[in-house]
A and B are shown apart, each in its own frame.
Chain A
Amino acid sequence: MFKILEAEVLADKTYKMVVEAPNVAHACEPGQFLIVRADEESERIALTICDYDREKETVTIVFQTIGESSYKIAEKKAGDSFIDVVGPLGNPAEYVNEPIEEVRKRHYLLVGGGLGTAPVYPQAKWLKEHGVDVDVIIGTRNHDTLIMEQEMIDAVGEEHVFVTTDDGSYKRHGMVTAVIEDLVKNEGRKYDRCVSIGPMIMMKFCVKMTRELGIPTIVSMNPIMVDGTGMCGACRLVVGDEVRFACVDGPEFDGFKVDFDSAMKRMKLYKSEEGRRLLAYQEGSTHHGGCGNCG
């Protein structure tokens, strides 16, 4: 069992937990993820590693509720436990294993969209701690859905953090792509690498922009997964002309080569069934099919 030490609500349907997981905490690096199972009947849910503490042997996860199993994870309180936490999974970010002198020659632009802000955080922190120049863009729907702004500012400095909201309710107004364009074209900033993590549609458009600007871009893919260890093949993606697996070949890939359209299509597969199961779980014995017409 894996004990939950802290649990807090960050925003609507968005949660943060600190969990005891020595095997993950000892070894994880920016770019990797883990899998949680709330209880015996739950699915294996792939989640972002948002932070880790090697001494305390803890990891921090940030997630949103989508289906029944993630809802069960969210229902847990500090002091409760998960039946399974396994990781780290996937490969570390490419710079982790590169000679640090090479990495320091580059200027990094990190782009986090919505929940994607959470996995961007350990990357920003790692790069800053290793003396690498880094700017961070956080994109979110509105002020209420914004997460981790202060942590990001503490990690890389206020002048390097750019927040934008879709509705203009906080700081900049508009999509992350507009901020990228503004920083490069109007403020004359130069970037040698972009790391973009967020909803697939955001990453797709982000890559469109960075391609125009000539900035090589890494994206972190989060397709449907089952085992997450290189066995089931559910997380397959088309990258270049090849079939690649996010769990063992990724999750980070060359954004210029990822076929986002087919990846987005595959995400739809279980939407309706997951929704129905979530409804049945929330409504318990009062659930007769969810139509609202019974009785």
Chain B
Amino acid sequence: MAIEVDMMKKVPVAEQDPLVRARNFDEVCLGYKEEEARAESTRCLQCKNPKCVEGCPVRIDIPGFIEKLKEGDNAGAYEIISEASSLPAVCGRVCPQETQCEGNCIRGIKGEAVSIGKLERFAADWAREHGINPVKKTSGNGRKVAVIGAGPSGLTCAGDLARMGYEVTIFEALHKAGGVLVYGIPEFRLPKDEVVAREIENVKALGVEIKTDYIIGRSETIDELMEDQGFEAVYIASGAGLPMFMHIPGEQALGVYSANEYLTRANLMKAYREDYDTPINKGQKTVVVGGGNVAMDAARTALRLGSDVTIVYRRSEKELPARAEEVHHAKEEGIRFALLTNPVEILEDEEGLVKGIRVIKMELGEPDASGRRRPVEIEGSEYEIECDTVIMALGTTPNPLISSTTDNLETNKRKCIVADEENGATSRPGVFAGGDCATGAATVILAMGAGRKAARGIDDYLNGRQ
């Protein structure tokens, strides 16, 4: 049956019912069916000067792949995407499209933007379901490059370098490859076995070797990799690092988690599954502090573990840094938002267990350095929220392992590794860096974009073009 298309509106995508999904870890968004994707693809204006591509950190030929979908050539669409992205099934799910490709879409000026993310996801899922592997192994050039960290940035850089013929080894500290895709982003947003593991297999199929349980900075230093193991260049993509706390009274109480810990227990260590040993505190009432994607992920995970959840965020709804879709989903699932509210103290009982959080109301004042209006406390507006679990989702500070064990590697005042935005070059010749370890916590796609640029930077460097 043909689908009627309203050119001003996106073809709706099926989602699990909010009340049902709030109790399971299955994927929320079910993705387009073939006829839905085909219908949505007709909404693309095929701009000659496509603004959407400019908004994409890895520069996917968006009109090109959408045209293929329209023609019914799903494999062709996937091929076009794969030329630019090693992880399309991931990006179709987790990119903040509304501020990137879809944010620039001309269709979006009068109506709704083309649903580029959902179309990308469709093409990638279709290819996977039909056993299409995008990659051909290139004949090697025999030159070795090391990549530190098997997250989105490292995987992208490794994939691109392998396509150019380099012999690439990724060193991963955890027992599983994927970085934030496996420890951070929850199953209900990004299925681990079907999607993440399969895309990592695609990178391996290019000839990339991934060594897990291998800690650079401890087992071996960057210098040892280059001097003793024959790696001619190194790309550092070691990720964001340690969680930040607020330094308010009660933060050491039992039941206060960082979002990193909470999500790692739930995702990487699969605490939500009975067959895994990992313990997690299944609270009755959880307060999540923060307004980014990580806060939404933690909140929705706590909800699925059976807790009532409130998000406390010090600015207003407009400033929430999370993807619009995550905020929308969180609300649909019944998560409460205490906006313009900031914690001042975590309250604990005689046993040291969390029993509540004292918060204060805020109002927006003058814009601060980030351009967002600075929240200011409203005197005398303190009140308490009863809870047994508090999850702090306030961002991270860089992991010191590599910068502290590598001489002459310049870091900035936030302790991030200083890397050239265009090619990833650091203060050390042959050493490149990108992703969260260089920028501070950002998004999957920005980390992938940095990996892509660094692959070109490394290729230029090794061929004396720089």
**Residues of A that sit less than 8 Å from B by CB:** 23-24, 26-27, 32, 37, 41-44, 67-69, 72, 83-89, 226-227, 229-234, 236, 238, 243, 245, 248, 259, 262, 265-266, 268-270, 273-274, 277
Which of A23, A24, A44, A231 contacts B269 (CB under 8 A)? A44
Contact A87 B215 (CB under 8 A): yes
How far, in Å, is B394 (CB) from chain A's closest CB?
Answer: 11
- Given the complex, which residues of B lie within 8 Å of A234, measured CB to CB? 257-258, 261
- Given the complex, which residues of B lie within 8 Å of A266, measured CB to CB? 252, 254
Q: With A41-B276, A248-B399 as given contacts, are A227 and B219 in contact (CB-CB < 8 Å)?
A: no
Contact code string B239-260 (vs A, CB < 8 Å = 1, else 0): 1111101010001111101101
| Cα distance, A258 to B183, chains bound together (Å) | 30
How far, in Å, is B6 (CB) from chain A's closest CB?
Answer: 45
Contact B219 A27 (CB under 8 A): yes
Which of A32, A233, A262, A270 contacts B258 (CB under 8 A)? A233
Contact A27 B175 (CB under 8 A): no
Which of B213, B242, B261, B276 contacts A23 (CB under 8 A)? B213
Q: With A23-B219, A236-B245, A238-B252 as given contacts, are A230 and B400 in contact (CB-CB < 8 Å)?
A: yes
Contact A227 B277 (CB under 8 A): no
Q: With A23-B219, A88-B218, A230-B241 as given contacts, are A268 and B254 in contact (CB-CB < 8 Å)?
A: yes
Contact B213 A84 (CB under 8 A): yes
- Given the complex, which residues of A lie within 8 Å of B239, measured CB to CB? 231
- Given the complex, which residues of A lie within 8 Å of B352, measured CB to CB? 265, 268
- Given the complex, which residues of A lie within 8 Å of B245, measured CB to CB? 233, 236, 243
Interface residues on B, range: 35 or more
Contact code string B254-278 (vs A, CB < 8 Å = 1, else 0): 1101101100110011100001111
Residue B376 lies at the interface, judged by CB distance under 8 Å to chain A: no
15 further interface pairs, Cβ-Cβ under 8 Å (given A27-B218, A229-B215, A233-B258): A23-B214, A43-B277, A44-B269, A67-B279, A86-B174, A87-B215, A227-B183, A229-B173, A230-B400, A232-B260, A234-B258, A238-B252, A248-B399, A265-B352, A273-B279
Q: With A230-B241, A277-B277 as given contacts, are A43 and B215 in contact (CB-CB < 8 Å)?
A: no
| Cα distance, A226 to B240, chains bound together (Å) | 16
Contact B242 A69 (CB under 8 A): no
How far, in Å, is B216 (CB) from chain A's closest CB?
Answer: 10
**Residues of B that sit less than 8 Å from A by CB:** 173-175, 183, 212-215, 218-220, 239-243, 245, 247, 251-255, 257-258, 260-261, 264-265, 268-270, 275-279, 281, 352, 399-401
Q: With A27-B220, A89-B218 as given contacts, are A262 and B399 in contact (CB-CB < 8 Å)?
A: no
Q: With A83-B175, A88-B218 as given contacts, are A230 and B279 in contact (CB-CB < 8 Å)?
A: no
| Cα distance, A41 to B65, chains bound together (Å) | 40
- Given the complex, which residues of A lie within 8 Å of B278, measured CB to CB? 43
| Cα distance, A37 to B268, chains bound together (Å) | 13
Contact B279 A86 (CB under 8 A): no
How far, in Å, is B143 (CB) from chain A's closest CB?
Answer: 24
Contact B258 A232 (CB under 8 A): yes
Q: With A43-B278, A69-B277 as given contacts, are A26 and B261 in contact (CB-CB < 8 Å)?
A: no
Contact A232 B399 (CB under 8 A): no
- Pick 13 A–B contacts, CB within 8 A, sort by A: A23-B214, A23-B220, A41-B277, A87-B219, A226-B261, A226-B264, A229-B401, A233-B245, A236-B258, A262-B252, A265-B252, A265-B253, A273-B279
| Cα distance, A156 to B173, chains bound together (Å) | 35
Contact A269 B174 (CB under 8 A): no
Which of B240, B276, B277 contacts A67 (CB under 8 A)? B277
Contact B243 A232 (CB under 8 A): yes
